[in-house]
Amino acid sequence: MSIESINPATGAVLKTFPALSRAAVERRLDLAAEAFRGYRRVPLAHRALCMRKLAWILDDEVEDLATLITLEMGKPLYAARLEIEKCASVCRYYAEHAARILAPEPVQTERNHSYVKWEPLGVVLAVMPWNFPFWQVFRFLAPALMAGNVGVLKHAGNVPQCALAIESLVRRAGFPPGTFQTLLIEVEQVRAVLADERIAAVTVTGSEAAGRAIGEQAGSLVKKAVMELGGSDPFIVMRSADLDLAVETAVRARCVNSGQSCIAAKRFIVDESIYKAFEKRFVKGMEALRMGDPMHEKTDLGPLATVKILEGVEAQVEAAVEAGAVVLTGGSRLHGKGNFFEPTVLVDVPRDAEVYREEIFGPVAMLFKVRNLDEAIELANDTPFGLGASVWTTDPEEQQRLIAELECGGVFVNAMVASDPALPFGGIKRSGYGRELSAAGMREFLNAKTVVIAAEPLGPDPDKEPIVAYEPRETEVE
């Protein structure tokens, strides 16, 4: 079995790697388990020193690392640089804030000294996707390593060079051997790794299908799991919105990472009073995007990451048209070299069409007209997903209703949905469970250990009756 790195802009094979044998995986898991026994006792200040060095290396090597991302999965070069810079920022965030997050929390209890102590779980398996090949890993890696856990990474099969580069970065930053390792393995090998008793927990970012399979197995093994899966985020624009800013942001929100983002806006829900103006400007903005070689500085849209993804988006657009949707612009793949798909706008997508309830992982937007806020909220929630929502209104009452009534993990008012190291990231419904980032994300893979230390006995009071032990009657139950 082999794992290929293929340039999605040209179709050229960049490198081929053999998948690790069972024996090689065993050796790496042994090393990880041994590393945890020692690493959990490494002082937090030393972990922070390594984490800051890791951030420094990322900043220093941003051009080389960004180029690797672009070559391997097709992200425009400017966006790849931003991804590396964001990885450095999350390293610095946890280096600075881990002591606060991990500090024992005193709890007031009667006559006792009580507190909650946060302890690492052990070896965590990270199953990560290709669309943000560094950031998706680092938003797990930084809090996990600062907390004293160790990690083994099963990265997406189309970004093996990125996966190996991350392992090298961690090692060069001074973290002990075995603290973070890449497993170049096939999908079929994941089940055996997760079942291994040395694996304490698993985190998954990826498709709903992958989440279901791994979540089911983790549940049967009684192992902690965090799932960050798909999304079909609504972008709601009401009549009081700043229309120019809303349209400009809408185009960026749909086409971030060439449309290959779980938190990209995918359904645009617009008040009927401004719908025509929004539609016209949005279509014009999508048509103005520059698609081409992702290594060029002025390219807005690169290729989709794999041929399979390209064919999937093409099939979804065709299915939407067959169901009655109308294509206002785009709608086709570009034939020739590379996995390119035109920026596309669909209207009149029937709500009973299969594609209406699917996530489209490419630069394809669906527009919907609504009569009022009630209808906007109802339509926004009419999805199996619940990741994020971007809402555009200057009306305080509308803002509060949208914040309260939208079914999702995050609401961004007059702003694009984005992740931030300081804020919990994750969703509800079929977008998954658990959180990444912030204190909440760090504590997903920590044991909240309760500690109660009894106060010193005060001795008998001669002025009081002696205490008689209470014995429960036979009819009482625990």
pLDDT digit string, tens, across residues 39-73:
999 999 999 999 999 999 999 999 999 999 999 99
Q: Rounded to an integer, what distance in angstroms lies between the CA atom of residue 160 and that of residue 109?
A: 51
Given a cut of 50, is residue 102 above it in pLDDT? yes
Residue 463 has pLDDT above 80, yes or no: no
**CATH of span 2-229+431-452:** 3.40.605.10
In the chain, % helix, strand, coil (3-state, to 5) comes to 40, 20, 35
Tell me the pairing of strands 265-271 and 364-370: parallel
77-86, 187-196, 290-299, 449-458: least confident range: 449-458
Q: Measured over all CA atoms, what is the biggest interatomic distance in the chain, rounded to whole angstroms?
A: 96
Name beta bridge partners: 17. Answer: 3
Confidence of residue 457 (pLDDT cuts 50, 70, 90): low
For the domain 233-413, what is the CATH superfamily, name and number? Aldehyde Dehydrogenase; Chain A, domain 2 (3.40.309.10)
pLDDT higher than threshold 60 for residue 462: no
Indicate if 233-413 has the same CATH topology as 2-229+431-452: no
Kindly list the distances between the CA atom of residue 281 and the CA atoms of 159, 247, 269, 301, 457, in Å, as whole numbers in the listed order: 36, 7, 15, 19, 76
Residue 446: how many CB atoms within 10 A of its CB?
A: 20
- What percent of the chain shows pLDDT beyond 70? 95
Cα–Cα distances in Å, from 268 out to 130, 184, 368, 374, 380? 26, 39, 6, 15, 9
Q: What is the pLDDT of residue 472?
A: 40
Measured N-to-C along each axis, helices 62-73 and 160-172 cross at an angle, to the nearest 10 degrees, of: 160
pLDDT digits (tens, 9 = 90+) for 133-182: 999 999 999 999 999 999 999 999 999 999 999 999 999 999 999 999 99
At residue 457, the 3 state secondary structure works out as coil
Cα-based distances in Å from 451 to 104, 442, 443: 10, 20, 17
pTM of the model: 0.94
Strands (E) across 239-278 are located at: 265-271
Question: What is the amino acid identity at position 2?
Answer: S
Active-site residue list: 228, 262
Beta bridge mates, 32 = none
Q: What is the mean pLDDT of residues 79-104?
A: 98
Q: Is the pLDDT of residue 95 over 50?
A: yes
Which residues have C-beta within 8 Å of that of residue 231, sequence separation ≥ 6?
262, 263, 264, 266, 359, 385, 387, 388, 427, 431
Mean pLDDT taken over the chain: 95
Domain coordinates in residue numbering, the chain:
2-229+431-452, 233-413
